[in-house]
Structure 1
Amino acid sequence: MTRAIWLVCDSLGLGAAPDAAAYGDLGADTFGHIAAACVAAARGPLRLPQFSRLGLPQAHAAIHGQAAPGFVGLPAPEGLWGHAVERARGKDTPSGHWETAGVVLTQPFGVFGQAEHSFPPALLQALVTQGDVPGVLGNCHASGTEIIQRLGAEHLRNGCPIVYTSADSVFQIAAHEQAFGLERLYRLCELARALLADYHIGRVIARPFVGDAETGFSRTVHRRDYALPPPAPTLFDALQAAGGEVIAIGKIDDIFAHRGVSRVVHAYGHDALFDATLAAMAQAGAHSLIATNFVDFDMLYGHRRDVLGYAAALEALDARLPELLQALQPGDLLVVSADHGCDPVWPGSDHTRECIPVLAFAPGLAPRALGRRDSFADIGQSMASHLGLPPLAAGRSFLSPA
């Protein structure tokens, strides 16, 4: 039985990409800075025995010429391990996932670069008029958790949704789940997606929240992403066309604009996502791809610059990896990667342009260092090769020595 299991540790960068200076990210290092912070803190070094078995810290060390703090003297990994750099220009969730699945963006996504008054007045006026809302709040670059604390009470008073963006290609709309209405928020985001047709913005994101001025405001799990569709067929499309099954867990389905996906499993929180992955592995037949995005690394810890929270989440996922490794069957290929960085010690709250890990493990697969891969697409090409598909448009498989 031939299957692939693809785990995306969202934002787990291994250090600045060769062109990071062009993005203001020279020196960013999500994994390395987390490891260093743990050693410096009273909690002690980062403990990742299973990720070390797969080669995560070893891949980081190969990039930097030395081990990250707390990872000196590790044994050789048991699978394939290396790192990849992104060919597409950007550091977005869609471009990182799409390139991994074989589609390299040649045109970068658009962004709203002004920190204040970020959106064109005509765009906002159309949103207000066609969306039947009294106005908008925000219209700036902001952290999603900060802006609802700052503007949540005003939103409750006047009913104006909160619109904001960042250095990434996003248009985000936050609204109170009960007072404004969840379905109304979704409809407004669908309208925004249509209005942004000429701006080439990667995602519109619905950001519902609850709470009040006295207790504070908090986001809920009912986030929804409205992404542009990939501009060409991906690994998902190729597998579906060949009669295979693509099982998308978490926000994977939204990232690919619901294209090439056979079955969607919604789950929230890393444990629930992991449970859903194990359940899919127990049910999926031959010629299947199970893809899971572990979004909390990015959403809860990277963007919020919570270094020790990120570390604890890594350790928690590491502690569960034996369950997945034991569930692998002959013919299964496990691939672990990321989509960009989000260094929790870096200034601001945006993604960082970093190399990503490329880890692969399968029963009987001979361990080997992969070194640097010149495109995330090598990951998708390798999964396509494993699944017996024709070559994708981009990427070079690493499953056989070069």
Structure 2
Amino acid sequence: MTRPSSAEPAPDPTPTPPPPGCPAHAGPAAVPLSGPGFQTDPRAAYRAMRRDHGPVVPVELPGGVPAWLVIGYREIHQVTSDGQLFPRDVGLWNQWPHIPDDWPLLPMVGRPMPSIYFSAGEEHRRHVRMVVPALESADPYEIRGHCEELADRLIDAVCGRGTADLVADFCEPLPVLVLARLIGFPDDEGTDISRVLKDLADGGPEAQSAHLRFAEHMGRLVAAKRAEPGDDITSRMLAFPEAFTDEEYMLDLMAVTAAGHLTTADWLGNSLRLMLTETDFADSMARGRHSVAEATTEVLWEDAPTQILAGRWAARDTRLAGRAVKAGDMLLLGLGAANTDPLIRQGLPDGGAAARGGSGAHLAFSHGEYRCPFPAQEIAEIIVRTGIEVMLDRLPDLELAVPADELVRRPSAFLRGTTSLPVRFTPVRTTGDPS
């Protein structure tokens, strides 16, 4: 789970000119972070960037907004390890005078606010002290039990018809239903939150009203758990001894839920896609040479849900990989590109595939102080691996219903997921059918 974000809307077809002298427009032409290349062949796009610009690339966001995209593995470690020079403090951004209120990436970049994902320094650490122990106290066996029950419920809804869209019918709803239950919502409210987060992720006309509904859900939950605490994440947050406002509780709960929704859904979907489209991998799993755990780890290296993460901001003028970075410049973390950096694969057999199998050195969850909290990673991992295991157990002859080259990726340079995953299988009974 990384930070909460929405699917990237289409860039403004008539962008405003960039401010004069902005860093990403000095020297070689900036690379627009849009276009079909990020959907069809992002590796080719990143190879071209490395060839033309090196590990730190001047890029242009919708509206002509400049930034630096860090695609080198070592350079991302450097940026994320130095919170003094490159803090996650969006208030430092030197482009605020040029950012309209309706800028399409504003929900992803964020504004300074009292939330674990949009605060920096000691304020961020204050929220970490409250949120992380509440997540850590969730029982892994209980999480797995919730996941098995809810996965069975979703499969029951489609198993008798022999066809399904795994993205819409399984991958998108499962993570948020599990998270809603862990946070403390009853199941019927979790279903509505699933719809709310889908509207938010789509970034369409319903996104603004969905955000308001999302906040209303969290406000009611905080009030309910104040009156009657339970064994859930919200109650544990409320019991934390440091003082927080209701707004802060709401914002942190919204951040945890939203951050865990689409990224976990895409990790699940990308893993199932790998199993369904890569014949050699599927055959190897069938023969016991690969496991579900290896498939999900492979996806974090090769097809991570979060390809680009915003961001870090330079606290002062500095240099990074030979680039003159000015105070207040935004640095985007190219996590997906860094995982395929040739410098970390040189000299390893099979391009490093064997070494990657059990390695946690990937950057799929970012790195450093502001990386995805470890308990959140564990929750996501349990959801993904348990979901796949239940799916393969219930529908063992699952196969794609369309040619692999017809599968469509989400139209975003920032997020990597499949919009639909049509499958067919032999119809089976529901879990409650005794016959």
TM-score (norm 2): 0.25
- When you count strand as a share of all residues, which structure comes out higher? 1
- When you count helix as a share of all residues, which structure comes out higher? 2
